[in-house]
Amino acid sequence: MIRTLRFTVRTRGRTDIVDITSQVASAVRGSGVATVFVSGSTAGLTTIENEPGLLEDLREAFERIAPSSRRYHHAETAGDDNGVAHVRAAMLGPSLTVPFADGRLLLGTWQQIVLVDFDTRPRTREITVQLVGE
């Protein structure tokens, strides 16, 4: 059986990290795998401990890897100021697969599913959850 569900999340942009674990968890029943996908090319998904210090560490790591202060060619070709967001999102990736059993996600004790919005402005993001299993 395959089921597809969608929900939206409002973000602030600029490496805003939003815990979406509860929305994904509410979609699962039975056992199988859940694929979580964010539409758009300036946001990504991962798992992390949703702890303020660690979230700041993640933001700082992205700033070191793809600094927001550098020039991105996207500004020249598309006239947009969010080249850094596209680069960071491409590195993180738009989807995540999580197993579930007996109607619950099989995440670690401190592991949450988070949406990271890198765009330069607030957005409403559509999240698709596709469930495969019983």
Residue pLDDT, tens place only, 90-131: 999 999 999 999 999 999 999 999 999 999 999 999 999 999
The mean per-residue pLDDT over the stretch 27-39 comes to 97
Q: How far apart, in whole angstroms, are the C-alpha atoms of residue 112 and residue 94? A: 16
Which residue segments constitute the domains of the chain, with CATH numbers given? 2-133 (2.60.120.460)
The mean per-residue pLDDT over the stretch 2-8 comes to 97
Where residue 134 falls among pLDDT bands split at 50, 70, 90? confident
The mean per-residue pLDDT over the stretch 42-50 comes to 98
Give the torsion through C-alpha atoms of 91, 125, 70, 67, to 10 deg: -60
